[in-house]
Amino acid sequence: AKAPVRVAVTGAAGQIGYALLFRIVSGEMLGRDQPVILQLLELPLERAQRALKGVMMELEDCAFPLLAGVIGTSDPKVAFRDADYALLVGARPRGRGMERSDLLQENAKIFIEQGRALDEVASRDIRVIVVGNPANTNALIAMKSASGLPRENFTSMMRLDHNRALSMLAGRAGKPVAAVERMVVWGNHSPTMYPDIRYATIEGERASDLVDAAWYKETYIPSVAKRGAAIIEARGTSSAASAANAAIAHMRDWALGTSGRWVTMGVVSDGSYGIPEGLVYGVPCTCEAGSWQRVEGLEIDAFSRQMMDRTLEELLEERDGISPLLS
Ligand code: NAX
């Protein structure tokens, strides 16, 4: 039998956490033969710790064969100790009357602390996904606060956007979602993201031949980008199960490989595609067990350049907003 691995999850008592933990320990993330020890972080607030206890009770009540242990804590250094994987879900939500810049600052403090704690106590091979918003910039902050860990080991979640883009395209073309390949969502996890179907194929046919160009630009791009808001409108609360599903898929693919399939991940830029080096930006990747590779050499046409620069501008603004805190 395999030795257990340690999986840290922050914001574990929140709504994404509730949709996530049970799937991690059922083996959907790391394989049905991989035992896991969960290391759960929540705020020190009474309410949060009590809710966390309840979730831990439910985990126990599932009697999962793969669950080799659970700890709950409010101390990042306990949650991240020797962790092999970290899913950073907990973040400060935007409160009433809170400015975007305040939100950025509040989250920067959290991700500086968590980056430092990861640097200090986590496995040197830890693989991190940041889900908590603003996810790309939070990932950048954690990465920069953990100078002893490889930068490639910090990623942000773009997979929900990627999956939304797949389903909407398949629906329009009247084809099964599993038939869509080579989807790309460039940039920030925000309404500025750019779902790019120029390389996508469906059952071997070019997707751009199966849907009309006006629909693509006028309906599809904004619908993918605003899907999060549409879910809130319909459900009264933000995406949880689909977000957890995307986090599972991101980590599973990173850990186990994609067999050549393209997936979108927010990863540290190497300067290619005109994305400044060091920024965390959504790009197409393939994964082999434990590592991701950027899909290289895609042509960027004028429309794509404009769309990619627009989402880049936003990420640069976010970075400039928090950079005083990092130095
Ligand atoms: P909830 O408010 O239900 O849960 C968040 C939990 O995190 C709470 O229990 C809170 O106590 C905890 N928390 C807050 N700060 C913490 C800290 N410093 N350390 C540990 N725990 C902390 O939110 P939920 O719906 O679960 O969403 C979590 C985050 O995911 C939000 O930031 C949200 O914006 C973000 N999302 C990101 C998505 C993406 O595609 N990247 C999509 C879904 C989601 O909106």
pLDDT in tens, 115-159: 999 999 999 999 999 999 999 999 999 999 999 999 999 999 999
- Enumerate residues lining ligand 1, CB below 6 A: 10-11, 13-17, 41-43, 48, 89-93, 110, 131-133, 135, 157, 160, 189, 238-240, 243
Closest to 208 (Cα-Cα) out of 274, 304, 123, 125: 304
What is the complex's ipTM, to 2 decimals? 0.99
Question: Cis (ω within 30 of 0) for the bond into 44?
Answer: no
pTM of the model: 0.98
pLDDT surpassing 90 at residue 45: yes
pLDDT surpassing 90 at residue 23: yes
pLDDT in tens, 284-327: 999 999 999 999 999 999 999 999 999 999 999 999 999 999 87
Tokens 């020890």 sit at which residue? 37
80 or 95, greater pLDDT: 80
Q: What is the average per-residue pLDDT within 255-283? A: 98
Tokens 């070019």 sit at which residue? 206
**Token pair for 221:** 């791009």
Examine the residue annotation and report whether 189 is marked as an active-site residue of this protein. Answer: yes
d(CA 131, CA 137): 11
Q: What is the average per-residue pLDDT within 197-212? A: 97
**Residue 137 CA, ligand 1 centroid: distance in Å:** 15
User: Strands 180-181 and 184-186: what pairing?
Assistant: unpaired
pLDDT surpassing 90 at residue 96: no
User: Strands 201-202 and 36-41: what pairing?
Assistant: unpaired
Q: For residues 293 and 286, is the Cβ–Cβ distance under 8 A?
A: yes
pLDDT surpassing 80 at residue 13: yes
Task: Report whether 322 belongs to an annotated binding site.
Answer: no
